[in-house]
Amino acid sequence: MDLKEWFASRQKRKEEENLAPKQPLTTEEYCALWKQCFQCRELLYVRDLRNNMSVCPKCKYHFRIGADERVEQLSDEGTFQEIDAKMSSADPLGFIDTESYTKKQQDAERKTGLKDAIITGLCQIDGKHVALGIMDFAYFGGSMGSVVGEKVTRLIEKAIENRCPLIIVSSSGGARMQEGLISLMQLAKTSSALKDLADERLLYISLLCEPTFGGVTASFAMLGDIIIAEPGARIGFAGRRVIEETIRQKLPADFQTAEYLLKHGQVDMVVDRTSLKETLANLIEFHQKPLNPSANAKKKQQDKVGSKS
């Protein structure tokens, strides 16, 4: 067969392949391509949604995202170095409900690829060194057990050691009931570690995402020097239904949303995910910027007058 015949044969084969009937996509394949917005019900192409940081381009609904995707969005490429990656919870109470706690942990790890509900590490944000912790709601509802508390505490210690700002991204249903009192001990443990960070005059930015509740809200999530929330995120201690049944009153429609908390002074700002990295970088730069010489001299003079009086 000469070269001309070979090309003709190849062209004929390609035409036959194009004419062959295509098999329809399976339900799983179709669902992998499209995702429906929970708020406006718009059908969104998954690739376009991810390119828009998992924010609906029509109504700005912020989808929940995993810890790995959050790392990609916030940290400079290739700078994130995870610490305590292999730490996992034991089963101190031998807890069993429908399944054993150990079995549920194994299922959660297989589903998410995580050892527990938080990943921690050191990275750079716009060239600025940061200690970063990110909770993942997909693992046990982001619940805080002994490992989450320990990893948060160690991350705080790393921030002190490296003299860098701390950022923790919270997304949690609260303390982990399978660890009982041990999980509740993490509230005091993480809060105490943050007191050490404050004594070192280091910045702590807390980012609250959908949802943040229970023991996480009652500890490190609401102790930031600056508290930022994503639009529409639900934030609170007890759930809406529990509160309504307790006080026997109907709550406002926007109760416990980020916007409601901003209006009542419980968070400092609500920031769209698409501009979050830039906002964090600006806050860190502003905090690290030294006082100008005249302002510094004026402050020293005021301190001197104050000590005399």
Report the number of distinct structural domains present in the chain: 1
In a domain, 159, yes or no: yes
Going from the C-alpha of 163 to that of each of 118, 120, 200, the distances in angstroms are: 22, 16, 8
In a domain, 36, yes or no: no
Spatial separation of the C-alpha atoms in residues 207 and 133, rounded to whole Å: 10
Query: In which residue are the tokens 């942990």 written?
Result: 105
In a domain, 48, yes or no: no
pLDDT of residue 14: 66
In a domain, 44, yes or no: no
pLDDT of residue 124: 97
pLDDT of residue 289: 75
What are residue 160's phi and psi, to 5 degrees? -65, -45
pLDDT of residue 120: 98
Residues linked to residue 170 through DSSP beta bridges, in sequence order: 208
Peptide bond just before 252 cis, omega within 30 deg: no
The residue type found at 153 is T
69, two tokens = 């995707």
Domain range for 258 is 64-288
In a domain, 56, yes or no: no
What are residue 36's phi and psi, to 5 degrees? -95, 135
Number of other residues whose CB lies within 10 A of the CB of residue 6 = 10
In a domain, 109, yes or no: yes
In a domain, 21, yes or no: no
In a domain, 2, yes or no: no
As a three-state string, the secondary structure of the chain is: CCHHHHHHHHHHHHHHHHHCCCCCCCHHHHHHHEEECCCCCCEEEHHHHHHCCCECCCCCCECCCCHHHHHHHHCCCCCCEEECCCCCCCCCCCCECCCEHHHHHHHHHHHHCCCCCEEEEEEEECCEEEEEEEECCCCHHHCECHHHHHHHHHHHHHHHHHCCCEEEEEEECCECHHHHHHHHHHHHHHHHHHHHHHHCCCCEEEEEEEEECHHHHCCHHHCCCEEEECCCCEECCCCHHHHHHHHCCCCCCCCCEHHHHHHCCCCCEECCHHHHHHHHHHHHHHHHCCCCHHHHHHHHHHHHHHHHC
Residue pLDDT tens, the chain, 309 long: 566 676 677 777 766 666 555 555 565 555 678 888 989 999 999 889 999 999 999 999 999 999 999 999 999 999 999 999 999 998 989 999 889 999 999 999 999 999 999 999 999 999 999 999 999 999 999 999 999 999 999 999 999 999 999 999 999 999 999 999 999 999 999 999 999 999 999 999 999 999 999 999 999 999 999 999 999 999 999 999 999 999 999 999 999 999 999 999 999 999 999 999 999 999 999 998 775 655 555 555 655 555 554
Number of other residues whose CB lies within 10 A of the CB of residue 97 = 9
Short-list 278, 259, 256, 284, CA closest to 269: 259
- Domain containing residue 180: CATH number: 3.90.226.10
Spatial separation of the C-alpha atoms in residues 268 and 110, rounded to whole Å: 37
Q: Which residues of 60-85 are buried (b: 16+ CB within 10 A; e: fewer)?
A: bbbbbbbbebbbeebbeeebbeeebe
